[in-house]
Amino acid sequence: MTQKKLNSQKSEPSVEEDLAAFGRDIEALRTQIGRVIVGQEGVIDGVLSCMLAGSHALLEGVPGLGKTLLVRTVAQALKMEFSRIQFTPDLMPADILGTTVIEESDDGHRRFAFRPGPVFANVVLADEINRATPKTQSALLEAMQEHSVTVGEETHILSEPFFVLATQNPLESEGTYPLPEAQLDRFFFKLHVGYPDRAGLHEILERTTQEHVPEAEPVLDGERWIAMQTLVRQVPVAHHVRDYVVRVVEATHPNHADAAAEVKQFVSFGSSPRGAQAVLLAAKIAALFDGRFAPSIDDVRASVLPALRHRVLLNFEGEAEGVSTDQLLDEIMGRLPESAA
């Protein structure tokens, strides 16, 4: 073996080194976010999981819980271009994507020119996304899936990495529109943002009612984030773990032979294959968060609710009975054996 090859082998980082670097970077990011956001560790890790998977997050909660602040803080801790879109009933698709205008040059010639909208950024905050009409909500479909925007006959490619971090109020709130199923399916996770506990509320008041409000400092750039996304895709998965993901998703289909009685009674449509992809990628990320290079069935179980709760659609009877998809998914995981018979 030549000296050149030996040097090349020595320069390549090992799996242990990659894991250690990944852990250090995630911890640095959590630290900066934690300077601003009190508690909500599960929601923070959920948002980071969506971004590490190269996908998007939907945060749901009543107003005033810090959903928008959380997204802004994540963007501050990353050296990436950030933009915010405030969704309102009068917002139009062109306000998001951009539009073609006529420009006149100094010599009097006129030409069509594209003016990019706020979606042309790395981190896009879609604030209160369900306050816009379904027509405007659907303007994000191509951007979220293909990372491109088509206006007229011209397609514009978005810069990488690209994430949509959306917030929404509960559907029972006044002036909201439900998101189309096709758009819901493009969100990697749907995360529920809850109320802080007593100690957390004390800490929030302490931080936000003083003269100086803490802010996050940028610690990671887009190039490093893409490298971390690549590491996620390299994590190997044992066959029995992947098989468990497949059986969980199959169990959400009401017409499947092994579906539980509750699923057959209350579910209209089960999870799509995109849901299975989300669960498996999330399990890989959970393993990396824990310093492991192989996901377990416990990692899968921890990923099922945020990955599938918005992909399992209840029928009229399920809605009328007040059944939640979280309850059904818990039932499925409680009954499903770890290995196939």
How many degrees, rounded to 5, is the angle at CA 79 between CA 75 and CA 84? 35
Last residue of a domain, one of 206, 234, 262: 234
Domain that holds residue 19: 14-234
CA-to-CA separations, 124 to 84, 105, 163, 198, 259, in angstroms, rounded? 6, 32, 6, 32, 38
pLDDT value at position 313?
Answer: 87
CA-to-CA separations, 336 to 245, 333, 339, in angstroms, rounded? 11, 5, 8
Cα–Cα distance, 325 to 229 (Å, whole number): 29
pLDDT value at position 144?
Answer: 86
pLDDT value at position 259?
Answer: 81
How many other C-beta atoms lie within 10 A of the C-beta of residue 281?
Answer: 25
Taking alpha carbons only, the member of 250, 81, 84 closest to residue 167 is: 84
Phi, psi angles (nearest 5°) of residue 115: -105, 110
pLDDT value at position 6?
Answer: 47
| 4 located within any domain | no
Residues with pLDDT less than 70, the chain: 1-13, 108, 171-175, 340-341
165/294 same-domain check: no
310/335 same-domain check: yes
Last residue of a domain, one of 179, 212, 234: 234
177/314 same-domain check: no
222/243 same-domain check: no
pLDDT value at position 281?
Answer: 95
| 6 located within any domain | no
pLDDT value at position 284?
Answer: 95
